[in-house]
Structure 1
Amino acid sequence: MFNYSRGNSMRLMRVLQIIVTGFLSLIAMSTHSQSGGVMAKVNGIAIPQARLELMVKANVAQGQPDGPEMRKALRENLIAEEILAQEAVKKRLDLDPEVISQLEIARQAVLVRAYQADYIKHNIVSDDTLRKEYEMLKVQMGDKEYRARHILVGSESEALDIIAQLKKGANFAKLAEQKSLDDGSKENGGELNWSPPAAYVRPFSEALVKLSKGGRTDLPVQTSFGWHVIELMDIRPMAVPPFEEVKQNIQQRVLQREFATVVQDLRSKAKVE
């Protein structure tokens, strides 16, 4: 919800965003313990109970309740997958170069997630750090929320034409529905959710806070998304949620930032030819 990354590190940050995706589920699963034993045998090949328990924990982390029905369904899926895997080996598909590459990619992804989980387990963020982050975020967010609407187009000339039409009395909502490139707001006449200025990219937020209630930008505002015509509909005091309510989200944010630094450090030390 805060300003987008800029500068020469943009490409690296995209990679880092991909790498750190999934921290929330990893936090939920990082303390799991594997159960011993065998879940089932398929043609003499044992499927470990630990495999089922891992699938159960993954589903629970996604919000599904643990229970007999879910476990039965997962057990049947694992058995079916084992049967199909055995058939693939019979056909020697495990020797296919493309399959070998896909298996290596899957193995690497599992190792990356294991490294992330290990990092989470051994890097506990203190309450003091979390509270400092919370106070910093409150300052960044400010004390006001803005309800705005906008029309996003691909060129300055299009935006200027829309501004001219609005000055002649055209309906903002209808123009947004017809012309805006923002699929998330165009169906609502260009309306955006109540948000602090920091929720938007800088050129947008800077233009927004200069407007008075009911005011509209006289010139198009350019961002990395295109050209915006912005109208400020209303302003209200910012209601900041209490620390305990957002503590987990802040922990996730801090861990992501710290882990991204670790990845950057490892990348700088790696010998890449």
Structure 2
Amino acid sequence: MNSTIGNRRRSNAGLLVGAMILTLSFPLGSSALAQDTDVVGRVNGQDITADDLALAEQMYGPQLAQMPPDARRSILVDALIDMKIVSAAARAANVTGQDAYKRQLAFLEDQTLRTLFLEQQVEEAVTDSVVRATYDEQAARIPPVTERRLRHILLGSEGDAVEVIEALKGGKAFVELAQERSADEVSRVKGGDLGFVAEGQVLPEIDAAAATLQPGEYTQTPVASAFGFHVVLLEETRNRPAPSFESVAPQIRQALKAAEERRIIAELKEGAKIEKLVPDVAPPQGEDGHEH
């Protein structure tokens, strides 16, 4: 291996090892633990397994996201090798007997227990059926919104609009006329189609004209607006459908999990004797107006 490349890889691994103590203080989900126990490295006879690599991937994946998978894997194994070597040296130096080590280890143990306990309790409570039931309940509470499927033809003058209306009365297809005559470049290629729109989503003049039509009818007189003169067709009306379950299930699940976690913590606090010996101070608001 080129020495420069090798040094760079070793430097990257060293940076990861240097950050490992800090990163361990962040919660890790049990999903990070792989079932595969294949050995990916060995230090003084001690195996480094795929389980170890999966845990390192969980920690450092975002930092190495831009790297090819094989390079990311290699750097992570380097980091684990360095960690084994340094931790062995620390044990030999009796770091494990120091108060600083014991305090940090106790903190990390509490952090890990908190993470795993909440994760397991939340997963048990927020099942697929609960997510589905929540979706059904929320979808049923969405107030109905009437939408109209509209087409229009935009003309530059009232006379041109009258000509189009006469052509429609003579049996010419609305879509064909829109493609031939409409000045609306966006909708013209779609035969004047504006899609399903609720009240307030299109020009008020078009809204008002469409409200007088039945499905299949078009305006019998030109509809004037600041953009010109319109001929409007109402194709159909419907109540706006709720978003599909598949599109919102991840957000519902996340919200339920967050609420369940807060509920569990609040319940545990009720049964605990708590003494906060520093003043309560609200965090500063961010630029978006929310507390962070």
TM-score by length of 1: 0.45
Q: Which has the higher contact order (CA 8 A, sep 6+)?
A: 1
- Structure label with greater radius of gyration: 2
